Structures are given as C-alpha cells and as structure tokens.
Structure 1
Amino acid sequence: MPLPLPQPQSLSQPRRPGARRPDGLPDRIRHWIAGAPACSADGAEFDVADPVTNTRYATAAAGGPADVDRAVAAARAAFPAWAALGTRERASLLVRIAEAVEAREDRLAEFESFDSGLPITQARGQARRAAENFRYFADVIVALGEEAYRVGSQQLNYVVRTPAGVAGLITPWNTPFMLESWKLAPALAAGCTVVLKPAEWTPLSAGLWPEILTEAGLPAGVVNIVHGAGEVAGQALVDHPDVPLLSFTGSTDTGRHIMRCAADGLKALSMELGGKSPVIVFADADLSAALDSAVFGVFSLNGERCTAGSRILVERPVYEEFVARVAERAERVRVGAPGDPATEVGALVHPEHHARVLAYVEAGREEARLVAGGDRPAGLPEGNYLRPTVFADVPRDARIFQEEIFGPVVAIAPFDDEAEAVELANATRYGLAAYVWTGDLRRAHRMAHAVESGMVWVNSHNVRDLRTPFGGVKDSGLGREGGAHSIDFFSETKIVHLMLGEVRTPRFGADSEEGRTP
C-alpha cells in the first residue's frame, strides 16, 4: 500500500515575492563589436523583463544580418594576431579573465538570478564554475601536446593543430553566463576569434563580458557579442560564409534547423540538445542517497537543465515507498523569490516557457497520477512560479514521459527487472544523461553499458569533471565538448608525413621511357 502523502509543511510556503533590482542594472544592453559598444545598424531594440514581475527592466539591441556582418569582420581582422599568439600568452589571458569573473562574483550572481529566475545560491555556483572554465582551459592549452608517429626508421608522421577561424557561439537561457564561458574559454584557448549570440530572454549577464574581457587585456575584436532573436541574429550567424564552425546549445528542433542551414557551407557543428534523462533506482540501492539525488537533479536550477533526471524509474518492490518519499520532499521544497538565499526553486525564465510547462502539467493530469504540486504556490500571485510537480504511474507513451519539459516536473514509473529498466530508459528519442542507483557493482556496469546516453552517473548525482567528454546520443546532440575534445572542435588538424630515409617510390613508366627511341 502506498504511504499517505504528507500535507505541505510550513517551510515549503513561498517566501518574499518581490524581485529586488540589483545595483547597477543597465537601462540599455548593446552589442559589443571590435572592442566597443554598438547599437543595431537599423536601431532595432527589444524589451527585456524579469521573470518575477514580467515587467521591462531594460532594452537590448536587436541584431540583424548587418550587425553580424560587422562582428564577423571584426573577428576576422583580429584572427591572425590572436591565432599567432603563443599558447602560454593565450593561457595567461584566460587566467586574467577568470580573475575578472571572480572579482564580480556577487554582482554576476545577482544579475543572473534577477534575469533568469535562478535561486541566488545556485547562481553563485554558476559564477564560480564560469571562472573555473577559463582557468581549466588555460591549463589544457599549455599542457596539450600534439601527436607524433614513427614508422620504423623510414618516416615520421606528426600532427599540427591550428585554430579553425571565426567561431559562432549560440548559447541558451537556462544558465546563460556559465554556458557562455563553457564555449568562450575553449574557443579562445584554441586560438579562434568569436562571435557570441546570447539568448534573447537573458541578455543581462552577457553585458558583463565587455568589461571583464577589457580588464583582462583581450585584444579588440577577438570576442564580439551580438544580441537578438535566434530567428534573426542567430540565423545570420549560422548562414554567414565566414563562420566555418558553430557551437550551439539549445532545443533539438532548433539544432535540426541549424544542421540543415549549415549543410550548404559544410560547417563544423557541435550541438548539445535536449534531454529526458532517466534515474534508475533498484531495490538494493541506498534509497536515501538516491532520493536526495533524484530530487536535487530535477528541481535544482528550477528544473531548467539539460541533464535533469526528469524520469525516475523505480524497481517495483520499493516503488510506492519511493513515490511517497519523492512527493513528500517535493512538497517541502522552498519556492520563492530568486534573490532569497532560502529559495530552492525560483521563477521560470519567461511567461512563454511558464505557459509551456503548465501545458505539460495539464497533459500529465490526463495521463498519470499527480502526487505533488502542479499549481501556483500560495502567496505568489504573479511571476512565473510553479510548485515542484510529481506524477506517478506514468505510462511510457505519455507526453510527460517522452517529451522534454524543462521545468520542475518529474515522471515516475515502475519496472520489474533489469531488462525492463533498460527498455524504459531507452524508450525516448533522447540520450544525454542517465543515473543508475544499485548496490550491485556488476549490475551497475551492465546498466551503464546498456543505457543509450552520452553520460552515465552511477550512485551519484551530476558531478562532472571538466576533463571528461560532454554530449549525448540520438536526439540529444552531435559531437563532444570538454577537455581536449573542445580544443579539437575549435581546431583544424593537419598530418605531416616526413621521410627520414631514402625514398623508394614505384617508378611507373620509367622502363618504357628508357626503352623508347627518339
């Protein structure tokens, strides 16, 4: 029998609903091209709102093809000198960028929380991770060697890695500044110059890059930023003939569109796309540890994370108990103002996204058993809020089981044996991450190999080493980033074959030439 579901506790009640405006909030956010702020060529702008009140706090330049042209031209002009710079010099600049990010940690976190709705404590973690990205890739580029192959005593083959050119970076809105750093750092380390197109819903923290990069001493034009809608500014960047490679993080549908557009130019692509990652809990697992991981994995960052464990698959002997415990914890999650340090789930990023997530909740009510959340928290009459939502007994063909929701909503389903667990885990078109909880080491290895995903965590939540490859299979993406994989993407490699001994080439035509009469 299922355990009785608890009533919401007092600590789960929403906290101060207001959105505190950070100090130094700009009224206008402009492009940054060739080392200087710039308005759009046609003067176009768009309004930017905070997710707690959904009221405008600034206007941002709305870029178009002319602005992307200027940014690409600036990046091309800066490329020869930047590409020629030694790896130690580039690494030193990356370290100075990291220091400049760290010096602004509090301000950056306040901007990120205000603009995206992320709880302030989690936004601080993103700021620290952004600085670490630059420090890490500074180390990588200095330590990274190039391959050499000796073919007996006759030949030496060696690989030369050179910067690929102007890189187009298109980043999402869920953890904007950190994911911008995740692409900027390896691109700069590899010697590329950059045109960055930040997400239009969350442009605020991207506005800090100009002062950070200028303070660090980055030459003008090495990094250029063009704001605007993906359909306009992003499209212009994808289509630009002088941008040979594109790194994109976002939805699968947008990724497909970019692939089609990039085909004519044969552009190199690295794309981290959607996810519907399973958390697989066996009866012999440490259920308390699995519970902590499952709840954190789907509700942290407001559930707006690509690697969220948004499907929990539980072995039947412990299924009802685990459902009840997840529901209890979901009811106790603190929902409130993003700037409140006690908040665990803040406001979803934008009214359009909020409406989309609510539509999935309504679909889930028809498809499964709602055991927690599913509505607006009491005391928060405005803003993009949703109580953490838990559905149980979710069939495999349900939309909430199959489709990426990207919010604080989780689907739970039972399984009877290992084979069914694998089948259910692989039953979606996505394959980004997976989480396996079991006390059986042999089973852990079997499951890790059988689940179709680019990454698997065993008896762990999402703790990631920057040296490891990041990416997915199926509809979750194309390529891998992280460590040397990122440097490889932003580089061209050339193999040089050098003969060390006497050349002995078959002499086609030589005999007939010698025997020919004048």
Structure 2
Amino acid sequence: MSGATVRSTSDEVATHPPHERVLHFIEGAFVPSRDGGCFETRAPATNDVLAEVAEGLAADVDRAVSAARRAFDESPWPRMTPAERAAALRRVADAIEARGEEIVRAECLDTGLPIAQARGQATRAAENFRFFADAVTQLETHAYGVDGRFLNYVVRKPVGVAALITPWNTPFMLETWKVAPCLAAGNTCVLKPAEWSPLSAVKLAEAIADAGIPPGVFNLVHGIGEVAGAALVAHPDVRLVSFTGETTTGKEIVRSGAATLKRFSLELGGKSPVVVFADADLDRAVDAAVFGVFSLNGERCTAGSRLLVEDAVYDDVVARVAERTAAIRCGDPLDPATELGPLIHPEHWRSVRGYVETGVAEGARLLVGGDCPPGLPASNYLAATLFADVRPEMRVFQEEIFGPVLCATPFRDEEEAVRLANGVRYGLAAYVWTRDLQRAHRVAGAIDAGMVWLNSQNVRDLRTPFGGAKESGIGREGGRFSFDFYSELETIHTALGDHPIPRLGLPTGDKEVRGDAGTHR
C-alpha cells in the first residue's frame, strides 16, 4: 500500500530553468569538449531535459590534468603559506554563500533533493571551506629529540594532482568536502562530478574563480564515469584519487590506479544498522530511524536502512515507524513542504523498485509504500517504504538499496543484535539506542563500522575521521585525517653536534674511529 502524503506539482512550485549548456572548467576558463560532444541531464521530478553537458573524453581529461600539473609545478599555490591558502579558501566560502539560492535551486532541480534539506547542504558546503581553512593553519608539527644529539621533525608537503570523483547524491556538499582539504594542503585537482548531477559543480567553479584561486589549481571535467572517470584515474600525472560511490566502482578504481601506485581514499557503500534496545527512548529512536533513511530521498551512504529492534518492543516500534512512514510528504523538490522527492534517475528508480519486488518475493512483509505515490507525475517518485520481519538471508537485508526503503528485523538479545549488525559485507555507519551506557559502549565497540552514533542521529563532527570498514571503503577523511591523505610527510633529521660517524675504507694501519652507527632500516 502507498499511504504517503502527496504534494501535487503546481506551476508556481515546479518552475524549471530554460535548457542550458554546461561546460568544463579548465585552467581558469569554461570550455567545451575538444570534440564538441555533449550529453543530456534530466530533471528527476519530470525527466525533462535540464541541460546539455560537455562530455569529457580522454583528451579533455588530459588537458585538465596537464593544467593541474602546470599549476602544481609553476603557480604559487603549493608554495603559499598555509595562512595564505586559508585566506583564499575563506573567500571561496564567501562566494558560495553569495550564490546560496542559486546552488540550492540547481541542486534541487538536478537531484530531486527536497529544497528544505538542500539548504542545509549548501550551508555545510561553505562550512567545509571555512573548517579546512582553519584546520590547515592549526596542524601540529611533530618533533623528536634524541638525547640532545638530534632534533628530528616532520613536515607536510603537497602531493601533486588529485582526482576527486564525487557521487550524484548531495553532490555540492560532497564536492566541497574533497576540494577544500585538497586545496588547503597545497595540491591541485581535477573534479569529476557524477554525470547524473553535474550542475552545482559549475557553481563551485564560479566561486573558486571569484575567490582568485590561480588558474589550473582547480579544474572541472564532466563526463561518463566509465570514460572520463576511468581516464582520470589511469592518468600517470594523477597522484591521489579520492572517490565516493558504490563498492564495485571503487574496486575497479583501485585496479586501474595500481599501475602507477596512486594513493586512494575510498568511501563506498553502506547497509547501516539502527539497533534499538527495549530500554531506549523510543520516541527519539523512531524520530532518528525515520529521518535517517528517508531524508535525502533515501539516497545517502550512511542511511540507517536496517532497523534492528529488541523483541519486547519490536511490534510497538514497527507500528510507530509505519505510521510515520505512511505520512511522509512526497512531492516536488522545490516545494518547501516536501519531505521526500523523486529518485535521481529512471534507471535508479527501476533498481530500487526491483528491490521492493524482491523483498516481497522473498517473504518480507510490506507494510507501507513500495510504488509511485498516486497524484504525482510518472517520473521517478517512490513512496517511503517499510518492510517488516526481514530475515538476514534476504537480499533487502544484505544489499545496499540506496533509496527510501527501510527493513525491520527483531532480535532477542545483545549477542544477536551484534551478530545481525555485523552480518553484511558493509561497515560504514551504525546507530545504537539504549539508556544503558555500558551496553551502548560495549555494542559500539563490537560493531564493525567506521562510525557509530550512540543515542543520536547522524550528526557530523568535521574533526573526526569519516570512512568505513570492510567493503565500505579504504582510508579516512575529516579533520587532520584529511591532511594525512592529502599531504606527503617528510622527516628532516638534524644533527645538533658532531656525532660519531663510523669510518670505512681507511688506509691500512690508520686508526679506525668507531662509534654508534645508529639504527639502520
């Protein structure tokens, strides 16, 4: 059954911009593809053509990487002080805020993200630049004294050209999450946004140009992942690859980049559990569970898509969640009252809808949703969906759906809760609800995940590492952990006096000076 509250599309709400042309941004200028090729991007709310986008091929990628390499070798950017780069990043943040409404509108039209949620994403994007501007000026310097004879210290240096490949969900915020620390550390970059949501990246290029970042430091190439993304990862002048997306693509990126020994930061898929014990504050747990999977149209890597509930309160919690799920307002993403917009693309809608059919076929109990809400255009809308009594062997329990689908499963005790939480190949995030703080910490430590929230929804602290375990990724970004990835560490060993140096090759009969040869590796 559907049961969702529907917001009808109206001319006042669903006004779309005229058809536009989207270009690459290379060496400080917006340019078409070398061969003039384009591809279409469509508005998820209607599937009407939204823009013609320059289609980057290997030649365009090479042009962008070459520009980034020249900027790294010749521009002042890598040689600026951290404070100078920080000042430039703060100007980018100001330019983003000046374009706030433009960015929000582009994001909504391009992704189907509800405008009330998109506004928060745009604000976070500016915060990312300010945070990393502050952070790069506050990085600690490690120094090690050795018995008064040596002072050894570690310096951070830029690595080179970075390939930044971003997904189609919340693209603008995630682009800034990568670009800000990359540039703060002194690198140059080529950004390749997802082909399904390329529009807001242009706004980022405009903001960076307005901030006076030297040409070539930031470059933007649009294109299909299997073509432009593959050429970018394989390019010999690219030294770092930061990728957010699905696990299968992440594995291919590692294979492609291994030939040139690139360094990788990969934030991949998730199938995160929300573990609710009987003693939890159930009102808050239900609020968080519903928001965590149905906000951002369910298209979020850290979505709590598996609701694991202790037997004693399982029926009560599922009933509460079902009532809330049925009341979620689906509608036009530009309507401020909309809580759930359309999925990004017809192909993705078919994938998510296919999982609903699979769940029913496997015997899960479909309580709410599962199809396009009545009264909305035949595009990419899917009502908020809830399955109950989902068994751990079912595909809807095991596989990332990446849509507004929540699967509820009961558990008997703490041991089974942990076993169910860990019973998938992913390990990105987890959420635990209980008033027993000892149990909360015990369960958090037992769950295999990069991040665990206790009695909380997903609230980010930019100082902490972000990333996953198992097939949810490799590496961590966030705070100083971003700079560990985007910096080369160099140790400088300084002798404070004339320490003994063993002498080899002396003429026969000369007295050998022996001394501490040090520790050799």
Band the TM-score falls in, shorter-chain normalisation: over 0.9
Alignment of 1:449-460 (within 5 A): 449-460=445-456
Helix, strand or coil for the counterpart of 1:364?
helix
- Equivalent residue for 1:46? 39
Alignment counterpart, residue 431 of structure 1, candidates 423, 427, 430: 427
- Equivalent residue for 1:16? 9
- Equivalent residue for 2:412? 416
Alignment of 1:259-408 (within 5 A): 259-367=254-362, 368-408=364-404
In 2, are the aligned partners of 1:315 and 1:414 still within 8 Å (CA)? yes
- Give the aligned residue type for 2:68: A
Q: Distance in 2 between matches of 1:188 and 1:13?
A: 43
Q: Distance in 2 between matches of 1:384 and 1:221?
A: 38
- Give the aligned residue type for 1:480: R
Alignment counterpart, residue 448 of structure 1, candidates 444, 447, 464: 444
In 2, are the aligned partners of 1:430 and 1:476 still within 8 Å (CA)? yes
Q: Distance in 1 between matches of 2:9 and 2:80?
A: 51
- Equivalent residue for 2:517? none
- Equivalent residue for 2:495? 499
In structure 2, relative to structure 1, the CA distance for the partners of 1:276 and 1:251 (3 Å cut) is: same
- Equivalent residue for 1:79? 72
User: Displacement, 1:218?
Assistant: 1.2
In 2, are the aligned partners of 1:14 and 1:378 still within 8 Å (CA)? no
Unaligned runs of 5+ in 2: 513-521
Helix, strand or coil for the counterpart of 2:260?
coil
User: Displacement, 1:210?
Assistant: 2.7
User: Displacement, 1:38?
Assistant: 1.0
Q: Distance in 2 between matches of 1:8 and 1:47?
A: 34
Q: Distance in 1 between matches of 2:43 and 2:381?
A: 12
Helix, strand or coil for the counterpart of 1:244?
strand
Q: Distance in 1 between matches of 2:378 and 2:419?
A: 41
In 1, are the aligned partners of 2:6 and 2:376 still within 8 Å (CA)? no
In 1, are the aligned partners of 2:3 and 2:368 still within 8 Å (CA)? no
- Equivalent residue for 1:149? 144
User: Displacement, 1:307?
Assistant: 0.2
How big is each residue's C-alpha offset from its partner over 1:268-314, in whole Å with a ceiling of 9 and x where there is no partner?
A: 00000000000000000000000000000000000000000000000
Helix, strand or coil for the counterpart of 2:83?
helix
Alignment of 1:88-107 (within 5 A): 88-107=83-102
- Give the aligned residue type for 1:413: T
How big is each residue's C-alpha offset from its partner over 1:385-443, in whole Å with a ceiling of 9 and x where there is no partner?
A: 01100001101010000000000001110000000000000000000000000010100
Helix, strand or coil for the counterpart of 1:404?
coil
User: Displacement, 1:315?
Assistant: 0.3
Alignment counterpart, residue 180 of structure 2, candidates 160, 185, 191: 185
- Equivalent residue for 2:154? 159
Helix, strand or coil for the counterpart of 2:344?
coil
In 1, are the aligned partners of 2:27 and 2:68 still within 8 Å (CA)? yes
Q: Distance in 2 between matches of 1:212 and 1:22?
A: 23
Alignment counterpart, residue 54 of structure 2, candidates 44, 58, 61: 61
Alignment counterpart, residue 174 of structure 1, candidates 169, 172, 175: 169
Helix, strand or coil for the counterpart of 2:130?
helix
Q: Distance in 2 between matches of 1:327 and 1:381?
A: 24
Helix, strand or coil for the counterpart of 1:497?
strand
Alignment of 1:92-241 (within 5 A): 92-241=87-236
Q: Distance in 1 between matches of 2:16 and 2:208?
A: 22
Q: Distance in 1 between matches of 2:34 and 2:143?
A: 49
Helix, strand or coil for the counterpart of 2:458?
coil
User: Displacement, 1:494?
Assistant: 0.6
- Give the aligned residue type for 2:106: F
Consecutive aligned runs of 4 or more in structure 1 exceeding 2 Å deviation: 13-23, 505-516
Q: Work out the number of aligned pairs and report it.
A: 508
Helix, strand or coil for the counterpart of 2:137?
helix
Provide the aligned C-alpha RMSD in A: 1.6
- Give the aligned residue type for 1:82: W
Q: Distance in 1 between matches of 2:268 and 2:489?
A: 26
- Give the aligned residue type for 1:20: A
Q: Distance in 1 between matches of 2:199 and 2:501?
A: 63
How big is each residue's C-alpha offset from its partner over 1:8-33, in whole Å with a ceiling of 9 and x where there is no partner?
A: 47xx233326672455x561001011
In 2, are the aligned partners of 1:50 and 1:56 still within 8 Å (CA)? yes
How big is each residue's C-alpha offset from its partner over 1:115-170, in whole Å with a ceiling of 9 and x where there is no partner?
A: 10000011111100000000000001111132111112111110011000011100
Helix, strand or coil for the counterpart of 1:496?
strand
User: Displacement, 1:366?
Assistant: 1.6
- Equivalent residue for 2:485? 489
In 2, are the aligned partners of 1:15 and 1:343 still within 8 Å (CA)? no
Q: Distance in 2 between matches of 1:280 and 1:513?
A: 78
Helix, strand or coil for the counterpart of 2:329?
coil
Q: Distance in 1 between matches of 2:120 and 2:368?
A: 28
Helix, strand or coil for the counterpart of 1:309?
coil
User: Displacement, 1:506?
Assistant: 3.6
Q: Distance in 2 between matches of 1:221 and 1:17?
A: 43
How big is each residue's C-alpha offset from its partner over 1:436-487, in whole Å with a ceiling of 9 and x where there is no partner?
A: 0001010001011000000000000000111110000000000000011111
- Give the aligned residue type for 1:61: A
In 1, are the aligned partners of 2:371 and 2:383 still within 8 Å (CA)? yes
In structure 2, relative to structure 1, the CA distance for the partners of 1:502 and 1:52 (3 Å cut) is: same
- Give the aligned residue type for 1:376: C
Alignment pair present for 1:471 and 2:467: yes
Q: Distance in 2 between matches of 1:332 and 1:27?
A: 36
Unaligned runs of 5+ in 1: none
In 1, are the aligned partners of 2:58 and 2:227 still within 8 Å (CA)? yes
Helix, strand or coil for the counterpart of 1:514?
coil
In 1, are the aligned partners of 2:46 and 2:377 still within 8 Å (CA)? no
- Give the aligned residue type for 2:391: P
Q: Distance in 1 between matches of 2:50 and 2:452?
A: 41
Helix, strand or coil for the counterpart of 2:465?
coil
Q: Distance in 2 between matches of 1:513 and 1:276?
A: 74
Q: Distance in 2 between matches of 1:22 and 1:86?
A: 44
Give the structure-2-normalised TM-score. Answer: 0.95
In 1, are the aligned partners of 2:330 and 2:339 still within 8 Å (CA)? yes
User: Displacement, 1:204?
Assistant: 0.9
Helix, strand or coil for the counterpart of 2:238?
coil
Helix, strand or coil for the counterpart of 1:246?
strand
